[in-house]
């Protein structure tokens, strides 16, 4: 490691990464981060070859951990023929004594996509019981058949205890589909909902995702309300990225979600939570959690001072008196 003007920069996957820049911004490259707490340690999973993983004891210092997959799952290579192992947008949760890690495989800008599941009884790579077991494909989207895209999963449980998977990107918006109780397949008969979408400037078809960019749903419960966060506009373009996060609220985990002005999210509504500025080209694809009595928004931003590379950002959520997350302002310097 070397120090530059008080900032310690780590080289190599096995090094630790301290707090840099402004509070809550970290010098590790991530896309689409999700997080969970396990036996006093925070584990973070994000887009990467085989699914990238980090751990931390304090949400400040991060250590690289082994990737979830050493080689691409065979089913994924068959479902998405140009898939080579770069796995997108995981979602981590705990259920019935196991950790469930859902993940996305896809062709970029196409709805040739699928969501898979891997499980583990522990997240500690040093444990003798540590082993990710792939459970295969949960849902698949097919061009010329589906006007939705099977990426960006997030699990939410309804009032009756049934699990639902929220997911989606572009096309006809964010969907939610009911799962069987053990969360390994779609329930029959199938139940679907559209929980958020944006209007497009031209008729949607199978060949084009449309120009109303929306993706990455994440549903977070606060007191008796549920908040649907989604990302608008464009990721993955470095300095040209325009990502931002918006939110709506509902008394049901499946909506309808309404923004602060009263507009339903499935009709294009959304209240701004975070956006880019001169320093950050864009910021989005968030997850949200309560750790030790504090609520956090976890997301990535494209740092103009690092040639547009994505960085991990963790910010505490502050709430208004009427129960809305206050807008997060990113430092311009």
The Cα–Cα gap between 43 and 49 comes to: 17
The Cα–Cα gap between 256 and 175 comes to: 12
Active site residue 27: no
Q: Which H or E run contains 75?
A: helix 74-79
Q: Which of 32, 65, 172, 275 is catalytic?
A: 32
Active site residue 160: no
Q: Give the pair of three-digit tokens for residue 85.
A: 């192992």
DSSP per residue, 92-155: EEEETTEEEEEEEEE-TTSS-EEEEEEEES---TTSTT---EEEEEEEEE-TTT-SS---S-EE
The one-character DSSP state at 209 is -
CB count in 10 Å sphere of residue 320: 10
Cis preceding-peptide flag for 254 (omega within 30 of 0): no
Candidates 9, 92, 104, 87; CA nearest to 44 is: 92
DSSP per residue, 215-273: EEEEEEEETTEEEEEEEES--S-GGG---EEEEEEESSTT---B-TTS-BGGGT--EEE
The Cα–Cα gap between 235 and 245 comes to: 11
The Cα–Cα gap between 22 and 315 comes to: 10
User: Strand pairing of 41-46 and 34-38?
Assistant: antiparallel
Q: Which of 215, 233, 275, 303 is catalytic?
A: 215
Residues tagged active-site: 32, 215
């Amino acid at each position: 490691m070397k120090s530059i003007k008080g900032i310690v920069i780590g080289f190599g996957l096995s090094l630790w990464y301290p707090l840099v820049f402004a509070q809550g911004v970290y010098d590790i490259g991530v896309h689409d981060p999700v997080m969970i707490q396990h036996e006093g340690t925070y584990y973070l999973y994000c887009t990467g070859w085989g699914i990238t993983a980090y751990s931390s004891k304090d949400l400040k210092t991060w250590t690289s951990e082994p990737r979830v997959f050493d080689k691409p799952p065979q089913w994924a290579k068959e479902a998405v023929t140009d898939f080579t192992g770069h796995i997108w947008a995981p979602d981590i949760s705990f259920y019935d004594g196991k950790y469930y890690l859902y993940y996305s495989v896809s062709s970029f800008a196409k709805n040739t996509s699928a969501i898979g599941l891997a499980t583990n009884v522990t997240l500690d790579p040093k444990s003798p019981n540590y082993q990710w077991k792939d459970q295969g494909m949960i849902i698949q989207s097919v061009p010329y058949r589906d006007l939705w895209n099977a990426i960006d999963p997030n699990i939410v449980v309804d009032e009756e205890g049934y699990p639902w998977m929220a997911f989606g990107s572009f096309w006809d918006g964010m969907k939610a589909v009911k799962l069987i109780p053990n969360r390994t397949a779609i329930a029959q008969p199938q139940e679907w909902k559209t929980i958020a979408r944006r209007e497009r400037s031209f008729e949607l078809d199978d060949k084009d995702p449309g120009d109303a960019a929306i993706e990455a749903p994440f549903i977070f419960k606060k007191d008796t309300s549920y908040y649907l966060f989604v990302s608008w506009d464009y990721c993955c373009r470095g300095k040209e990225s325009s990502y931002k996060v918006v939110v709506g609220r509902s008394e049901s985990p499946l909506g309808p979600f309404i923004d602060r002005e009263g507009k339903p999210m499935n009709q294009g509504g959304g209240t701004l939570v975070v956006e880019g500025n001169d320093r950050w080209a864009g910021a989005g694809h968030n997850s949200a959690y309560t750790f030790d009595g504090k609520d956090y928004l976890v997301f990535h931003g494209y740092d103009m001072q690092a040639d547009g590379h994505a960085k991990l950002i963790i910010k505490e959520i502050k709430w208004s008196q009427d129960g809305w997350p206050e807008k997060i302002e990113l430092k311009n310097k």
